[in-house]
Chain A
Amino acid sequence: MTTQITKNDLLTIVQQVFESMMGLQVEDDSQAAADLSVGEVSMATICISGGWNGIIIFQSTRKLASKIAQGMFQLDEESISAEETKDAFGEVINMVGGNLKALLPGPSSLSLPNVVLGTDCSWDVPGGTTVLVSLFRSVGEPMSWSVIEEQKK
């Protein structure tokens, strides 16, 4: 079954996660892609398998990843380690993925998150169909959310 998730569904979930867990506002911003194309980025993925099969991909600047970690740990920038940034970033996609899963055909299970802090990251999911890409912004920093559905064999 093709996913029925909309950009508004995704934005609502991301806003709930950011506001309740770290007190950050999130807004829709279709221009955010240009700011994510180069430089230090953070990327997280989580898989859903069962009634719906696919992958959720979350990409942002390293600066936003650091802001997320600072907000969740309630520590300043200098006190946050790369491991803590990865942990917080992974927990964000875990929460968003779990709430998205509830909107998709089920029952399904959620994988553990994978997180990469790198430079000029890009991704490709062979056999996957991109069903939604949404661009948002928080604290002036861009982020993208992609929902990729596995093609039926």
Chain B
Amino acid sequence: MKVLVVDDSKVMRVILSRILKEMGHEVVEAGDGQDALKKVEESGGVGLALVDWNMPVMNGLDFVKALRADTRFWQIPVMMVTTETEMGQVQLALQAGANNYVTKPFTPDVIQEKLKSMGF
């Protein structure tokens, strides 16, 4: 499956890509929400998106809202992977359309278990 990893930090994209590739997935990377929308468009959609919150240009929350507003891509599952650990922020992301939420720091096991719980 093709998975989009959206994070402004290269090292976080590398870490998440490593985990996803070990699970047998193909990875598309984007450095911010705007870049991610472009990559989704170019890819003709992806099977899943892992999205950071705090990014320049377009943050993860606005990316999720934009994705949910697009009739072509609104069904793409989204898991937020972020340092935003406050419950209010989690609720905000879920209300915006995120399907799951992981806080940083994480271990590979946490990511794999979350994805399995989402059916991946």
Contact = CB atoms under 8 A, between A and B. Distances in A.
Whether chain B is bound by chain A comes out as yes
A49 to B, nearest CB: 12
Contacts of B15: 21, 72
A94 B88 contact: no
Interface residues of A, number: 26
Q: Chain B binding site: helix, strand, loop or mixed by DSSP? A: loop
Contacts of A107: 86, 88-89
Contacts of A69: 11
A98 B83 contact: yes
A20 B82 CA distance: 15
B interface, how many residues as a size bin? 20 to 34
Contact of A98 (B8, B82, B107): B82
Q: Is the interface of A mostly helix, strand, loop or mixed?
A: helix
Interface string B63-90: 0000000000000000000111110110
Interface stretch (A1-9, A83-91, A118-126, A139-147): A83-91
Interface of A: 16-17, 20-21, 69, 72-74, 83-84, 87-88, 90-91, 94-95, 97-99, 101-102, 106-107, 110-112
Interface of B: 8-12, 14-15, 18, 54-56, 82-86, 88-89, 103-107
